[in-house]
């Protein structure tokens, strides 16, 4: 155990040097702006490159499906839990989806325990919309009887925030859904978690929703920021994107930050969006 800890790269490296509550200084923002104009980053990536992505499966033995996703030093856990519940009155022929999340203080010195703030509300909502609107889950097949439907609960927990939590959380949630298997039912159609089945959720084979967030500083757009870059950014736009009937579809979109985005800028994102969606799908294929 001691030996493991000592030799593990992360414990030796000063990787968490940027963990601090101090706000980004004007100087650093100005330097970042100049660097982005020349297409440079501190870690040597180009502006549109992602950091290495890794996925671990079955990290929780209580969840029906769970994953740990790392993008660089950003780390997110997602778990899927399945419950039997009543359908909503306005969608009696459909199952339910609930995404919840919490920004744990362990993930970043910026996060405090207490009532959820803006970011803590936004994160699960963005994940929810990216997944719900993609059509990945066939909600009609989640009906058990007229009165009982499956409720799919996704919990998202950031473990370490080094920027770009939203993209990491959406990947984690999507992979966890792919992994999830139904628990068994007893005679009265109540869940019996002691029975495990091999039945997967009714998911579309081709649809794998991911979210891609563009960040803007000055006139530069960049993807997958570190926390330092994310805090310097003036605007952000997150797209939920996936394949549906062989076509790439934008399912959701949310803009954040005070600075506007011009029409030309949004249009310039589209080819990159497509390229990155294909890239992420290819990258994640080996983990599915």
**Smallest distance, Å, CB 36 to other proteins?**
10
Crossing angle of the two packed helices 165-179 and 118-132, in degrees rounded to 10 = 50
Rounded CA gap, 126 and 105, in Å?
20
190 binds other proteins (CB under 8 A): no
- Our CB check for other proteins shows the closer of 111 and 287 to be 111
Choose between 217 and 284: whose C-beta lies nearer to other proteins.
217
DSSP 63-78: SSEEEEEEETTEEEEE
Task: Match 């298997």 to its residue by tokens.
Answer: 181
Binding mask 6-25 vs other proteins (x if CB under 8 A, - otherwise)?
x----xxxxxxxxxxxxx-x
**Dist. CA 224–CA 71, nearest whole Å:** 9
Rounded Cα–Cα distance for residues 31 and 15 (Å):
21
If binding is defined by CB under 8 A, does position 258 make contact with other proteins?
A: no
**Is the CB of 26 or the CB of 245 nearer to other proteins?**
26
CA of residue 131 relative to chain centroid, distance:
10
Residues 202-241 that bind other proteins (CB under 8 A): 228
Minimum distance, C-beta of residue 258 to other proteins, in the bound complex (Å): 15
Is 15 or 135 the residue whose CB approaches other proteins more closely?
15
Pairing relation of β-strands 74-85 and 149-160?
antiparallel
State the nearest-atom distance from the C-beta of 13 to other proteins, in Å. 5
Contact call for residue 193 and other proteins (CB under 8 A): no
**C-beta neighbour count of 60 within 10 angstroms:** 17
Question: Contact positions toward other proteins, by CB under 8 A?
Answer: 2, 5-6, 11-23, 25-28, 30-32, 34-35, 38, 40, 42, 228
């Amino acid at each position: 155990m001691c030996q493991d800890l000592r030799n593990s790269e992360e414990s030796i490296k000063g990787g968490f040097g940027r963990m601090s509550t101090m706000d980004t200084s004007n100087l650093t923002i100005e330097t970042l702006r100049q660097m982005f104009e020349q297409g440079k980053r501190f870690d040597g990536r180009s502006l549109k490159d992602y950091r290495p992505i890794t996925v671990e499966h079955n990290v929780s033995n209580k969840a029906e499906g769970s994953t740990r996703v790392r993008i660089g030093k950003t780390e997110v856990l997602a778990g899927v839990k399945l419950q039997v519940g009543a359908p909503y009155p306005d969608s009696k022929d459909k199952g339910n989806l609930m995404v919840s999340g919490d920004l744990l203080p362990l993930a970043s010195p910026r996060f405090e325990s207490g009532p959820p703030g803006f970011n803590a509300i936004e994160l699960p909502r963005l994940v929810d919309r990216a997944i719900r609107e993609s059509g990945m889950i066939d909600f009609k097949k989640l009906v058990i009887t007229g009165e009982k439907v499956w409720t799919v609960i996704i919990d998202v927990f950031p473990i370490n925030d080094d920027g770009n939590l939203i993209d990491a959380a959406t990947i984690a949630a999507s992979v966890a859904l792919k992994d999830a298997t139904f628990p068994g039912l007893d005679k009265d159609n109540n869940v019996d978690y002691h029975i495990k089945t091999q039945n997967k959720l009714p998911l579309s084979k081709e649809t794998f929703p991911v979210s891609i967030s563009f960040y803007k500083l000055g006139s530069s757009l960049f993807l997958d920021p570190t926390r330092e870059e994310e805090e310097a950014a003036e605007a952000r736009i997150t797209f939920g994107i996936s394949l549906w009937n062989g076509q790439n579809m934008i399912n959701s979109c949310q803009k954040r930050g005070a600075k506007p985005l011009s029409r030309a800028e949004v249009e310039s994102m589209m080819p990159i969006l497509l390229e990155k969606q294909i890239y992420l799908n290819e990258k994640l294929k080996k983990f599915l």
